[in-house]
Amino acid sequence: MNLSRRQFIAAGAGAAALAGAGCGRPRDWATDARRLIGIPTAPPLADALTPSASDEIDAVAHAISRLTFGARPGDYRRVATMGVGAFLDEQLAPGRIEDTLCARVMRHEFDSLADPEGSFFRREGNSGDPLQQLFPALRDRGARVGDLYEFKDKVLLDDLTRATVLRAVLSERQLFEVMVQFWSDHFNIDPSKAEAKWLKAADDRDVIRAHAMGNFRELLRASAVSPAMLWYLDGRANRVTRPGDKPNENYARELLELHTLGVHGGYSQQDVMEVARCLTGWTVRDRKKFFKGRVEFNARQHDHGAKRVLGVEIPAGLGAADLDRVLEIVVSHPATARHLARKLCRRFIADEPPEAAVRATAASFTASRGDIPATLRALFATPEFLAPERRGTKFKRPFHFVVSALRATNAQTDASKQLIDYLLRLGHAPFRYATPEGYPEPASHWQSTLLWRWNFSTALAANRIKGTRVALAELRARVGGDEALMATVLGRRATQAERTAYREAGSDVALLIAAPAFQRC
């Protein structure tokens, strides 16, 4: 790991970590009118909200907690009725899930984020919003990358952040949103760098969301030629114009170390340099040029000589095809399957992933040639994922904690500045991580956030977060009283100690949200 380079990138980010949360353009009267009319920001509750009656986290609650950003009231009954297997099938095929409310909120709230559903759902033929099916022009509005330069960069960051929170809260395609976050970390881009300020919005739409539940090979290629990635890791500066020129190796190193083989994947410094040679000539037009944001291959800046990557010869004269050849080599390498499988098992099973589960997941990745749903299906079928002793053991990262609290309480929210401020203070606001490895997964990184978790819990329960409201009395009545409310939030019946503490605190839902049991999934 090249720490000095990453530290330099982090230092260059400066004060951008706090810049976007409170910045937005003035809303026009039509947007304000839509808010007065009232677009719902919480799905309607089901007729039956029966929570778990088990004293332990059972298979149903476990599946919901690991595959989603948290159970909403009624989710337990729905999944128990359909069966865990059917729930897995449903979430592994997000294009078949109707997601009308989330799509409409995205469309009404975020003019800057053209085509908020992403090309994945266009391929699947399910936009999620009947209005978009009736008026195809709505889907294509502002889809060109260059249109993003028309917005202030702080507006784009603000909108991206809020949209990410609202999708996690509202979407029925929960596993898809979990994987969007996973790949956003895996292919992390700090939008404070240069023109990534504008282009990260396109990367989120056209790379991450378009391929999050598709094929890893296609996702990797889309990332390699992403305008934002070409800016962030200096791929646009990787050129050879005369004999003796050395290529820029920044992206090549991260491609091997982070995106594919992993730090212990068996590559050498020579491999890094050879990959960098393969990737010379790719560039992106900057904001001062026509067709800004367009990715191009400049053959005059490419090293056309023969290369050797991980022991595989790449003949001279392939030109732009060098990119696809090198990506095929690294994706097919066994170390890539192991690296990705380990990260997926760390996300869905344990911070120290069991080797048997890693092997099974890696084998599926290889056999399916990088099919992401097939790889996940194999992971979810492992005994290690299903084991009762694994349930309720993973510490939620702050974003997961905040969103799960909003979902558990059926909160209505517009993801306002005050809500985003809590994520900033918790250190886990989307798109604020400066270095390429993305936000860490292990609990050890997040243990210092407990005080701010309590502050958030009390503010949420007391309706002190502007733009966010919970109707606790109504929810308590709908689910059937305090016992049922505790079971709804915790995913199981409360223990005697938890019931006593809840009563002594005056039926304080903040206590439930801040409780040790709710910090884990």
Q: What is the mean pLDDT of residues 268-285?
A: 98
Q: Verify that 457 and 480 share a domain, yes or no.
A: yes
Q: Which helix (H) or strand (E) element contains residue 414? A: none
Is 269 within a domain? Answer: yes
Beta carbons of 128 and 103 less than 8 angstroms apart: yes
Question: How many helices (H) and strands (E) in the chain?
Answer: 29, 6
Q: What is the pTM of this model?
A: 0.90
Q: Is residue 402 pLDDT above 60, yes or no?
A: yes
- Out of 310, 332, 354, a domain closes at 332
A 10 A CB-CB count for 186 gives: 22
Please write down the HEC assignment for all residues of 310-326.
CCEEECCCCCCHHHHHH
Q: Verify that 117 and 160 share a domain, yes or no.
A: yes
Query: What torsion do the CA atoms of 78, 84, 89, 92 make, to the nearest 10 degrees?
Result: 90
Q: Verify that 120 and 171 share a domain, yes or no.
A: yes
Q: Verify that 325 and 351 share a domain, yes or no.
A: no
Is 18 within a domain? Answer: no
Nearest partner of 305 among 313, 314, 297, 316, judged by Cα: 316
pLDDT band of residue 505 (cuts 50, 70, 90) is: confident
Q: What is the mean pLDDT of residues 312-334?
A: 98
Q: Is residue 66 pLDDT above 50, yes or no?
A: yes
Q: Is residue 114 pLDDT above 90, yes or no?
A: no
Angle between helix 372-380 and 174-186 (nearest 10): 110
Which runs of consecutive H residues, i.e. helices, occur in 237-349?
Answer: 250-254, 269-278, 321-332, 334-348
Is 10 within a domain? Answer: no
Range of the domain at 246: 233-332
At 372-386, the pLDDT tens digits run 999 999 999 999 999
Q: Verify that 401 and 433 share a domain, yes or no.
A: yes
Q: Verify that 118 and 184 share a domain, yes or no.
A: yes
Is 4 within a domain? Answer: no
4: three-class secondary structure by DSSP: helix
Q: Is residue 27 pLDDT above 60, yes or no?
A: no
Q: What is the mean pLDDT of residues 253-262?
A: 98
Please report the pLDDT score of residue 124 as a whole number. Answer: 53
Domain count for the chain, please give it.
4
78: three-class secondary structure by DSSP: helix
Terminal alpha carbon distance of the chain = 31
Residue with tokens 């911070």, as numbered in its chain: 351
Please report the pLDDT score of residue 129 as a whole number. Answer: 46
197: three-class secondary structure by DSSP: helix
Is 31 within a domain? Answer: no
Is 25 within a domain? Answer: no
Please report the pLDDT score of residue 139 as a whole number. Answer: 40
Buried/exposed 158-175: b ≥16 CB within 10 Å, e otherwise: bbbbbbbbbbbbbbbbbb
Rounded CA-CA distance 326/310 in Å is: 9
Please report the pLDDT score of residue 14 as a whole number. Answer: 37
If you average pLDDT over every residue of the chain, what do you get?
89
Q: Is residue 143 pLDDT above 70, yes or no?
A: no
516: three-class secondary structure by DSSP: helix
Rounded CA-CA distance 239/250 in Å is: 12
Residues 6+ apart with CB under 8 A from 435: 6, 7, 9, 10, 188, 190
Q: Verify that 399 and 381 share a domain, yes or no.
A: no
Whether the CA torsion 84, 86, 92, 97 is positive or negative: it is negative
Q: Verify that 305 and 342 share a domain, yes or no.
A: no
Beta carbons of 517 and 498 less than 8 angstroms apart: yes
Rounded CA-CA distance 513/422 in Å is: 15
Is 434 within a domain? Answer: yes
Q: Verify that 238 and 306 share a domain, yes or no.
A: yes
Residues 6+ apart with CB under 8 A from 175: 67, 68, 91, 92, 94, 213, 376
Residue with tokens 């898809």, as numbered in its chain: 176
Q: What is the mean pLDDT of residues 285-309?
A: 96
Please report the pLDDT score of residue 111 as a whole number. Answer: 84
Q: Verify that 380 and 286 share a domain, yes or no.
A: no
Q: Is residue 1 pLDDT above 90, yes or no?
A: no
Q: Cα angle vertex 388, ends 384, 390, to 5°?
A: 55
Residue with tokens 């060098």, as numbered in its chain: 322
Is 5 within a domain? Answer: no
Rounded CA-CA distance 204/295 in Å is: 16
At 7-23, the pLDDT tens digits run 433 444 433 333 333 34
Q: Verify that 403 and 361 share a domain, yes or no.
A: no
